[in-house]
Amino acid sequence: MSDAQSTSTAKALGDLPEWDLSDLYPGQDDPSLEGDLTAASASASLFKQSFAGRMDGLDGDQLAAAIQEYERIDELLSKLMSYAQLVYSGNVTDPAIGRFYQSVNERANAIYSDMLFFTLELNRLEDAHVEALLNESAQLAAYRPWIRDQRVMRPHQLADDLERLLHEKSVAGRSAWVRLYDQTLAGLRFPMNGEELTSTQVLDRMSSRNPVERKDAAHCLGTVLSKNGSLFAYITNTLAKDKDIEDRWRGFDRPVSARNLRNYVEDEVVDALSSAVRQAFPDLSHRYYRLKAKWFETDQLDYWDRMAPLPDEDDRLVPWDQAQSTVLTAYGQFSPELASIGEKFFKGGWIDAPARPGKASGAFAHPTVPSAHPYLLLNYQGKVRDVMTLAHELGHGVHQVLAGGQGHLMADTPLTLAETASVFGEMLTFQSMLAGTEDPKRRRAMLASKIEDMLNTVVRQIAFYEFERRVHDARKNGELSVDDLGDIWMDVSRESLGDAFRFDDHFRTFWMYIPHFIHAPFYVYAYAFGDCLVNSLYSLYEEAEEGFAAKYLDMLRAGGTLRHQELLAPFGLDASDPAFWAKGLGVVSRFIDRLEETF
């Protein structure tokens, strides 16, 4: 794209918002930031002096007061680290910002060391003693969900000195490797047609309408990643080994079990999800991509055509103000309250939308702390899929606002449920846009595009989960080479995508740009969990069940206070029932049925 084209595109998109972080801190050098770090350090030191070694002697009200002080300090530290993370995400390649980010995290880590004793000693209390305290104190009973969630790690807790060692070393261990990965990926430039593209930009070119541009982008991506393959493989091996060591010390039998425990979901439920999706590959992804190949008048697609725009697809640029109106209208049709909360993100400077060099790739919603508000990071380039990404991340943000009423310690939602509002927001936006489209060809293209998004959320994420599972299992037997990792990637890709695709060696490197493998091992299955859950919920909504919206908002307000069984019970859904997953996957299958009817 020439400079003139880039300027024209930017003009067509309109004024893209950049976030205003002053609701957290006015700037990196503002005295209030240093003052809060100093105050948190002093408070944590006093907290340790007051309660360390005394937990078993506290009555219910005294323990409640201790938790309240712990929550206050933790929220202050979370605010500091959120600010540093958001500044860093805005430009991960700036050395000064990198030093600021690292400095804040190191100092916060040291302060947390003084507070680490609290949850360790809480977990050493016997169940009967904790239950007696909860029954005697209404103030303590308000924290029952948080106490419950802390104590799930009780069987896997190490000695206090080991826990403190792991905590203090994390900034020079796992966190340092994650930072190296982020900085390396963000710093890579992909030379293509005279331009030096970022990873976000070259990935965007892979959904170009021009097949030559898609191929060039795929080969450019693969070439640059391959040159950095040894480093990415070393980071992956190091983090997998680090996890294996800690899992063995904590007594986890499987690499995914620690993540499941923190998600408060049983291993068997995740196994059932993975198994159901993998068994559905032929009916879902294999069937759809054969249709897409037929649509493109070929027997097989090249892998760079997976995200190719569909014939008759609306490839116009969607200006930012239109994207905002589209999403908020869809939210408002479901619930005026949902739209009202969403509107605050646009008016309050809570969104950073432009794609720019150095900025973190992809998109996310950061909850920060309940005393402030969430922020959204996007890389908005005006495509319809970018509108859907906005709907997705705004769903996260609205969820985080609603859950904030539970307070800092109980607002956070397990990953398995954290994707619910985001995927539901996407579905609302899609259905609203589809209803407003009359042209049959365009409607067919929209339906196909939605199917692709759902396959990306369910099939691709379970393929990612399977890649991680195989990598972590294989790492137990020794370090994996770039070729080993490429082989695993190819195996799961062929299994999940089917025989409708042709692959080459460039594709063997594509695992390297997936940040979830580095940032949060086994995070990815949460997307599939959330999508299937939302599909089941949306089926109920379509049946016009009275009071659905109110029950849905109550589910979001619950934050982390309820487990998935309790949250789904009002809707008559049960994730432990295999029929639950079949119901969710059936929605995708029926969409493909509808598409087949148009051929």
Q: Is the pLDDT of residue 545 over 70?
A: no
Between 440 and 6, the more confident residue is 440
Q: Would residue 56 count as lying in a domain?
A: yes
Highest mean pLDDT among 187-201, 463-477, 585-599: 463-477
Query: Is the CB of residue 36 less than 8 Å from the CB of residue 107?
Result: no
Q: Say if strands 501-502 and 351-354 run parallel, antiparallel, or are unpaired.
A: unpaired
Could you give the residue ranges of the DSSP H alpha helices within 125-193?
A: 127-136, 138-141, 144-150, 160-169, 174-187
Give Cβ neighbours of residue 331 (< 8 Å, ≥ 6 apart).
338, 339, 342, 394, 398, 425, 428, 429
The pLDDT of residue 279 is 94
For the chain, the straight-line distance linking the first and the last C-alpha, in angstroms and rounded, comes to 35
Q: Please provide the average confidence, as pLDDT, over all residues in the chain.
A: 93
pLDDT of residue 491: 98
For residue 204, the one-letter residue type is D
Q: How confident is the model at residue 2 (pLDDT cuts 50, 70, 90)?
A: very low
Separation between Cα atoms, residue 567 and residue 565, nearest integer Å:
6
Q: For residue 317, give the 3-state DSSP assignment.
A: coil
Q: Where are the alpha helices (DSSP H) in 282-435?
A: 287-295, 320-334, 336-347, 384-403, 415-418, 420-435
How far apart are the C-alpha atoms of 457 and 425, rounded to whole Å? 14
Angstrom distance (rounded) from CA 521 to CA 515: 10
Q: Token pair for residue 526?
A: 């949460």
Domain contains 53: yes
pLDDT in tens, 183-204: 999 999 999 999 999 998 999 8
The amino acid at 398: V
User: What CATH number does the domain containing 99 carry?
Assistant: 1.20.140.70
pLDDT tens for 421-439 read 998 999 999 999 988 888 8
Question: Which of 221, 118, 212, 215 shows the shortest CA–CA distance to 163?
Answer: 118
Domain hosting 41: range is 23-172
* Residue 301 per-residue DSSP state: E
Residue 291 covered by a domain: no
pLDDT of 215 strictly over 90: yes
Residue 244 located in a structural domain = no
CA dihedral 537, 538, 544, 548 (to 10 degrees): 40
- Say how far apart CA 257 and CA 253 lie, in whole Å: 7
- The conformational region for residue 298 under phi > 0 = left, psi -120 to 50 = alpha, else beta, is beta
For the chain, the domain total comes to 1
Report the share of the chain in percent with pLDDT over 90. 79
Q: Does residue 32 lie within any of the structural domains?
A: yes
CA angle 571, 261, 166 (to 5 degrees): 150
Q: What is the pLDDT of residue 6?
A: 60
Residue 139 has pLDDT above 70, yes or no: yes
* pLDDT for 385 beyond 90: no
Which letter does DSSP use for residue 328 in this model?
H
314, pLDDT greater than 70: no
CA–CA separation, 511 and 470 (whole Å): 13
**Rounded to two decimals, what is the model's pTM?**
0.82
pLDDT tens, residue by residue, 505-524:
999 999 999 999 999 999 99
- For residue 171, the 8-state DSSP code is G
Q: Is residue 77 part of a domain?
A: yes
In-domain check, residue 7: no
- Judge whether 367 lies within some domain: no
